Amino acid sequence: MLTRAVETYLAVRRAAGFVLRDEGSYLKSFAAFSEARRQHYVSAKIAIEWAGLAQSRQQRARQLGMVIRFARYLRAEDERHEVPPAFFGQEKLPRPAPYILTPKQIQQLITAASHTRRPFCGATYSTLFALMACTGLRVSEPTHLRLDDITPDGLVIRRTKFQQRRSYVPLDDHVFVSLRRKRLSVDAVRSAFETAVKQAGLPPGPGGVRPTPRSLRHTFAVRALETCPDGRDAVTKHMLALSTYLGHSSVANTYWYLEAVPELMRDIADRAEQFAMARRV
């Protein structure tokens, strides 16, 4: 019964856009674990026992969290399913402070990426990093771009003089490709980014944080927040628009930047002080 319920649950969530690769295998393991004990409904005791087999506390919390979400789904129609408590604590660790690049550092990074022994690779990665810096895209998003995705109303790529890039285009026509005529992998992008960071001599951030490709996305988000107009309604609309653009599952993920970046917190404090002083006058 639980195995069938897992399949239905996964189908519903995947239809809503969730991939759930790891969660699917873990929930199937939990269902088999429960049914081996002749338990056909979610039991809090068995769920904690199953999750407790994981090696680390963080993994135990993560696996139990999967069961908790699954149990809530089932309990909506059948109260015989128990929703376990978060026995092992929070699933996620606090997010590390983001590395925010200055405009000069972004330029240094792009320049360093372009200086390679292979002109094609240099042009590919410098263009990719520049695109990510000015759009805030995740690494996987530009690497999946195809030529047909570039329209007059969106991205535009100029035709090169000798059409050098065309000779490298794979059969599936991705925009960013390697010398092997394959779509750039996330690992390849990370490796090229690390090389460019070293060549550009970018220093570690507070707490020893190192820049990663995701730093370009973080930087875009922070710069966008810095342009937020004054006024409660304007701020709300600005945050909602930015959260939608970035593809955040919750606007709370966008508000996180306000807590993570000291400059934004100082701006908030300054504006709050100005507001309070104006009320006193």
Q: Phi, psi at residue 14, to the nearest 5°? A: -70, -35
pTM above 0.85, yes or no: no
From residue 241, how far is each of 4, 204, 219, 254 by CA, in Å?
A: 39, 31, 17, 10
Among 200, 217, 71, 86, residue whose Cα is nearest residue 140: 217
* Count of other CB atoms within 10 angstroms of residue 201: 9
pLDDT value of position 264: 67
In tens, the pLDDT along 157-179 reads: 444 333 455 555 554 588 788 87
pLDDT tens, per residue, the chain with 281 residues: 899 999 999 998 888 767 777 899 999 999 999 999 999 999 999 999 999 999 999 999 999 999 999 999 999 999 999 999 999 988 776 677 788 899 999 999 999 999 888 888 899 999 999 999 998 888 888 888 887 777 766 654 444 333 455 555 554 588 788 878 788 888 999 999 999 999 999 998 877 889 999 999 999 988 888 887 766 677 778 888 888 888 877 777 777 777 677 666 666 666 656 655 655 55
User: Going by C-beta distance under 8 Å and a sequence separation of 6 or more, which residues neighbour residue 200?
Assistant: 105, 108, 109, 111, 112
In tens, the pLDDT along 50-87 reads: 999 999 999 999 999 999 999 999 999 999 999 999 99
pLDDT value of position 163: 46
pLDDT value of position 277: 61
Among 165, 192, 187, 163, residue whose Cα is nearest residue 177: 165
Residue 189 CA, distance from chain mean position:
15
- Cβ–Cβ < 8 Å for 62, 91: yes
Among 143, 216, 217, residue whose Cα is nearest residue 178: 143
**Rounded distance between C-alpha atoms, residue 125 and residue 123, angstroms:** 6
Which token pair is 110? 């792009």
Q: Where are the domains of the chain?
A: 2-75, 103-207, 228-280
- Cβ–Cβ < 8 Å for 173, 183: no
- Cβ–Cβ < 8 Å for 81, 61: no
SS (H, E, C) 217-280: HHHHHHHHHHCCCCCHHHHHHHHHHHHHHHCCCCCHHHHHHHHHCHHHHHHHHHHHHHHHHHHH
**Rounded distance between C-alpha atoms, residue 257 and residue 273, angstroms:** 20
pLDDT value of position 173: 80
pLDDT value of position 213: 94
pLDDT value of position 241: 86
183, β-bridge pairs: 177
